[in-house]
Amino acid sequence: MRPPEEGTLRRVATFVAALGVGVAAYIAIAQAGDGAPACLAGGGGCETVSRSSHSELAGISVAVLGIAGYALLLVTALLRGDGPRMAGFALSLFGFGFSVYLTYLELFVIDAICQWCVASAVLMAVLFAVNATRMLGYVGRPA
């Protein structure tokens, strides 16, 4: 089976990465005002997760790290060639793994679920699938 056209994969990755920047920026802005993202489905999971000690890594908000990660993935989606293909794959693999770790923390350590964090994890899983398809289908081919 042939992979989707690379242009299609790049457009999907661009759209999903831009959504990821938006989600992460919303979380970061909400946290910056000593608040928490609003839980649209109700409950206090977003506030619990946002106020946990796990919402920062080395003093940096995980949401800010998310903005940086999604922005880098956005750049790799906009560029052509093997370098951006492999960088997009590596970044999305790392982001997906980190999202799995954060989801584990929500479920088993923090004991609360933030729907915005789940949305980010889903977006990162999609980016991983798209970037893996792009890399496996097109590395070594002309841009």
Predicted local distance difference test score (pLDDT) of residue 1? 78
Predicted local distance difference test score (pLDDT) of residue 136? 94
In a domain, 143, yes or no: no
Predicted local distance difference test score (pLDDT) of residue 140? 85
Q: What's the predicted TM-score (pTM) here?
A: 0.94
In a domain, 1, yes or no: no
In a domain, 97, yes or no: yes
In a domain, 40, yes or no: yes
3-state SS, residue 114: coil
DSSP 46-110: HHHHHTSGGGEETTEEHHHHHHHHHHHHHHHHHS-SHHHHHHHHHHHHHHHHHHHHHHHHIIIII
In a domain, 24, yes or no: yes
Furthest-apart CA atoms within the chain: distance in Å: 50
CATH number of the domain at 25, please.
1.20.1440.130
In a domain, 79, yes or no: yes
pLDDT tens-digit profile, the chain (143 residues): 788 999 999 999 999 999 999 999 999 999 998 778 888 877 788 899 998 999 989 999 999 999 999 999 999 999 999 999 999 999 999 999 999 999 999 999 999 999 999 999 999 999 999 999 999 999 888 87
Domain range for 45 is 6-138
Tell me how far the alpha carbon of residue 123 is from its chain's centroid. 6
Burial-class residue 61 by CB neighbours within 10 Å (0-12, 13-18, 19+): middle
Predicted local distance difference test score (pLDDT) of residue 106? 96
Predicted local distance difference test score (pLDDT) of residue 38? 86
Predicted local distance difference test score (pLDDT) of residue 87? 98
Predicted local distance difference test score (pLDDT) of residue 40? 82
